[in-house]
Amino acid sequence: MLLSGVSITSLNVSVAASRRFGTSDSAHNIPALAACVITFTLGEMTAIPVAAAYVADLAPSHMRGRYMGVYGLMWSVAMIAGPALGMRLFAIGHGMLWLCCGGLTTLAALAVLAPVRAPVVTSVAADAKGV
């Protein structure tokens, strides 16, 4: 589910980039605008809810709170830094913003496919003994 959501979002952003401007700029009529919004929303609806579960599954049980805290922190950092960085890219060139967004979402889809090492399971008692 996460991969399909990220892939749909990546496809939509890449199509917007290939048309040189943002999603709403490349849609010059109501049906095209609706298709862009629906595609982007579908990608978000399938990726965002599953992402938190994906992070929780990656974390060892005793570190799950820390992993989820960092996951939440990264969303906050993105909300702070994203608009500033996006506007700088937009100032360089309208297409530059969307090319970078398309590239980053493609990297995110590839990262989901990357193999993940199984967490090492240790008991609390073993940790207390220093084993």
Q: Is residue 128 part of a domain?
A: no
Give pLDDT, residue 128. Answer: 53
Q: Is residue 130 part of a domain?
A: no
Return d(Cα 44, Cα 79) in angstroms, integer: 16
Number of compact structural domains in the chain: 1
Domain presence at residue 49: yes
With respect to residue 126, please indicate whether it lies within any of the assigned structural domains.
no
Residue 61 structural domain: 2-115
Tokens of 126: 């073993």
In a domain, 60, yes or no: yes
Is 108's pLDDT higher than 70? yes
Rounded mean pLDDT, 42-51: 79
Contact 26, 16 (CB under 8 A): yes
- Residue type (1 letter), 100: C
pLDDT of residue 32: 74
- With respect to residue 131, please indicate whether it lies within any of the assigned structural domains: no
Residue 125 forms part of a structural domain: no
Which tokens sit at 90? Answer: 């937009």
Position 35, amino acid: A
Q: Per-residue pLDDT averaged across 22-47, rounded?
A: 71
Most confident of the ranges 16-20, 72-76, 113-117 = 72-76
